[in-house]
């Protein structure tokens, strides 16, 4: 780490703190040459492999934007969408992988969206899972009903 003031390469970590969301590490450093202090933020990058094979950094806002379309006209608050985006990112990062596919991102969206709003879930799933006919919708509805019955019995 180079000092931003004198560009000397020897610095000492004075203090380390993890951010509230757990994805950043904040370090207070001391330059051993000029004795000035500065702060660094460290994070890891989660990459998403698109269907085309290209890579791009994970973007929580893209998740929220996609889910917002499925929730159009539904009683879903913006705060709920932000929580869903955070949960999806946390789930993907907890797998410990530096790279995930766009299909894995879509799959990670399904469970929290289903918990948030079943109609929005069906809308999103119909696009994500390429529903082709009414039988695909019926199978998804039957699965929702079975899961809801199992949850109510437990």
Per-residue pLDDT in tens (0 to 9) along the chain, 154 residues? 899 999 999 999 999 998 776 667 899 999 999 999 999 998 878 899 998 999 999 999 999 999 999 999 999 999 999 999 999 998 898 877 889 999 999 999 999 999 999 999 999 999 888 898 999 999 989 988 888 887 777 6
- In the chain, where are the structural domains located? 11-42, 47-153
Neighbours of 141 (CB within 10 A): 12
């Amino acid at each position: 780490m180079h000092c931003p003031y004198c560009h000397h390469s020897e610095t000492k970590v004075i203090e380390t703190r993890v951010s509230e969301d757990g994805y950043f590490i904040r370090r207070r450093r001391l330059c051993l040459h000029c004795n000035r202090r500065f702060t660094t933020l460290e994070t890891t990058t989660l990459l998403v492999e698109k269907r085309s094979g290209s890579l791009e950094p994970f973007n929580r806002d893209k998740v929220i934007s996609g889910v917002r379309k499925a929730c159009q006209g539904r009683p879903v608050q913006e705060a709920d969408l932000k929580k869903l985006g955070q949960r999806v990112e946390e789930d993907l990062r907890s797998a410990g992988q530096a790279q995930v596919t766009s299909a894995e991102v879509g799959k990670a969206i399904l469970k929290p969206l289903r918990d948030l709003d079943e109609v929005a879930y069906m809308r999103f799933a119909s696009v994500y899972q390429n529903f082709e006919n009414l039988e695909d919708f019926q199978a998804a509805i039957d699965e929702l009903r079975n899961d809801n019955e199992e949850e109510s019995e437990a």
